[in-house]
A and B are shown apart, each in its own frame.
Chain A
């Protein structure tokens, strides 16, 4: 608990909505969202956390129950749990829920945390050829090597897959075969499937404390609905692929929908009285999380996206996430009328999305592998997460927390939804539009003709300027020069600075002179002609001179600057300097 103040500082943003109730980084809980649930196991109004712990993956699987911050009980599980649900199986008082743990082909039912019943999935059809061959082996008519060859032949072309016993036999070394056959040949062959996902479905009432059926998905691409008391199969449905994630709504006796995400990357929607899927949603990548929000389905995909669909398979939106999704859960607060999707990401963050808007981000110390939101203990808005490193995080939503859509960074700006005050179409506008529509070709031609003329005029003016060296850029290849001029001062005396640069790559320019042409009544210049030194390529040569304005009538004129080459009558380049109006009066 001493770590709480530190965490508050770390996540200043997240702590505004969530209280850090408990964090145990070494809780030794390795599990996924499908194996975590909250249930009032003892009927005392306090919800406990029930976790199917996968342990090391090979051993140490446990059914753990937490109360508050401490572990209440532990039961050893025989096999890896694939799913865990709590459900009310009968009307007896006290109304304490049972726990169903799915592992392998079995469902173990616990009542009062004691083993109560074990349900086994029905066996599958056996390949008759395989049966035949084993019968021969039982009668010692064939030796193990022949048995192996025959079974391999069946394996390669059989429609019905072989049993686990046969498959294991085919993997054995020759010396082990004899004993294996002798050990197993007397038992009948069984072919069993395994449970991949489990969920609950209310039987005939929608109340919170109504009796629920178990819904299971299997590796044999089937969905079974089981009776809660007798554990008989009430209904069986087939899917085109193996179900991995499942969401169930409705009531078995009235109408229900089962939304199943399958291993082939599709989502199928099953309904009552349909043996085959009613709708199919084809995803662009594999589903990793499935949450139902009201009538819509939100799917987290492997390609770092989250997509929403209606129950009829119409796509509503797509959101791009910053990191791959690890798990998803629903945040449901019926007392506040608030629903959102919790998405755990591989970058140690948990995002809260309302529709496609990000409304809150929670930073965690480790990658979250399972999320569960609901009533824990006596607190309604509790978020329970377990991490990759086996940690347990419990956060409580503040009573005063408000989720605001405006918190989101993404989404269209508010200004986009404001309607512009567009004036009504006038008659003139309509007439103009009509004219444009009718004479479109003629107008286009006229425009193109004028554009060509404009280009021609521009090109002519340019050529003329080049020919008469009227530009401040020299066009001759032997003396590539560039010049610009700056006028400084308020008047009547101005400083004129000419910057001359030789733009050639390596050749210097010699024998240049500068001459000015101006109105002698208006301006006077101390030196109106001077020689320029040798111009080294690339360097900038500033040349200063002074101009005196003679007029006090507030008029100005242009001074032309010519750069001349010795022995040439035309200038190399020309610059026109627009002199500013003299603001001071001449002293003399």
Chain B
């Protein structure tokens, strides 16, 4: 790091960079959430199912996020684990109206938490109980019960209800994530 960069960092001009992995089943709304977090002039109009993964960047008040937006389709889920090492935080998106596949989400979450690259790291996990606006959606409390989130003892986690299409609840989650990353740095 050059002298200028350091100086800029001290003065708070240059923001710290964080790598975040965005995971969740297909059709849960990962890409829509990331799209909403981007500055409004960079947002895409049409969201299509992600193939493989895509890298997106957005900034908050103090951090610069690089998000690995992974595809949630069954055949691409084995790609997830290759990015665990680089990730400093995880965003896990759940479709709270899909009761049937809640077990699949739990299964993928358990696999994630037991992976050697994740298991012994104190890495913050942000859960979005997405699609809250739908009529048959489960509450965020019910989602955290079904996913047994209370069993996660060694990592900071937070769940918030969201509606990615309207952008509701996203800022609350990102603020929490920013606080967590800042406290871990210092």
Contact = CB atoms under 8 A, between A and B. Distances in A.
A400 interface: yes
Interface in A348-403: 376-380, 394, 396, 398-400
B170 to A, nearest CB: 23
A572 B108 CA distance: 87
Nearest to A398: B107
A126 to B, nearest CB: 52
A379 B104 CA distance: 9
Interface size class of A (residues with CB under 8 A): 20 to 34
B100 A21 contact: yes
A567 interface: no
A70 B136 contact: yes
A398 B14 CA distance: 45
B114 to A, nearest CB: 12
Nearest to A46: B27
Contacts of B166: none
Contacts of A399: 74, 77-78, 104, 107-108
Given A378-B26, A396-B104, A398-B107, A69 B99 contact: yes
A1 interface: yes
Interface string B105-140: 001100100000000000000000000000010000
Given A68-B98, A70-B136, A378-B26, A396 B103 contact: yes
Contacts of B78: 399
Interface in B58-103: 74-75, 77-78, 98-103
A398 to B, nearest CB: 6
B75 A21 contact: no
A19 interface: yes
Contact of B100 (A335, A379, A398): A379
Nearest to A45: B27
A396 B74 contact: no
A68 B27 CA distance: 14
Contacts of B104: 19, 21, 379, 396, 399
Given A378-B26, A378-B27, A399-B74, A68 B103 contact: no
B75 A20 contact: no
A326 B182 CA distance: 61
Contacts of B107: 19, 398-399
A67 to B, nearest CB: 9
A1 B101 contact: no
B103 A378 contact: no
Contacts of A335: 74-75
Given A70-B136, A377-B101, A400 B111 contact: yes
Contacts of A20: 103
Interface string B136-163: 1000000000100000000000000000
Interface in B9-33: 25-27
A20 B103 CA distance: 7
B99 A68 contact: yes
A22 interface: yes
Interface string A1-41: 10010000000000000011110000000000000000000
A379 B111 CA distance: 18
Contacts of B146: 1
A21 B98 contact: no
A396 B101 contact: yes
A495 B146 CA distance: 79
Contacts of B102: 1, 21
A162 to B, nearest CB: 52
Contacts of B74: 335, 379-380, 399
Contacts of A70: 99, 136
27 contacts: A1-B99, A1-B102, A4-B103, A19-B104, A19-B107, A21-B100, A21-B101, A21-B104, A22-B99, A68-B98, A68-B100, A69-B99, A69-B100, A335-B74, A377-B98, A378-B27, A378-B98, A378-B101, A379-B101, A379-B104, A394-B100, A396-B101, A396-B103, A396-B104, A399-B74, A399-B108, A400-B111
Nearest to B25: A378
B81 to A, nearest CB: 11
A121 B78 CA distance: 52
A19 B103 contact: yes
Given A69-B100, A377-B98, A380-B74, 15 more contacts: A1-B102, A4-B103, A19-B104, A22-B99, A68-B99, A68-B100, A335-B75, A377-B100, A378-B25, A378-B27, A378-B98, A379-B74, A379-B101, A379-B104, A394-B100
A22 B102 CA distance: 10
Interface string A55-72: 000000000000011100
A19 B136 CA distance: 22
A45 to B, nearest CB: 8
A283 to B, nearest CB: 38
B103 to A, nearest CB: 4
Nearest to B77: A399
A335 B73 CA distance: 12
A495 to B, nearest CB: 69
Contacts of B103: 4, 19-21, 396
Contacts of A19: 103-104, 107
B138 to A, nearest CB: 10
A400 B98 CA distance: 21
Interface string A320-350: 0000000000000001000000000000000
Contacts of B100: 21-22, 68-69, 376-377, 379, 394, 396
Quick one: which of A4, A69, A398, A399 has the most chain B CB within 10 A? A399
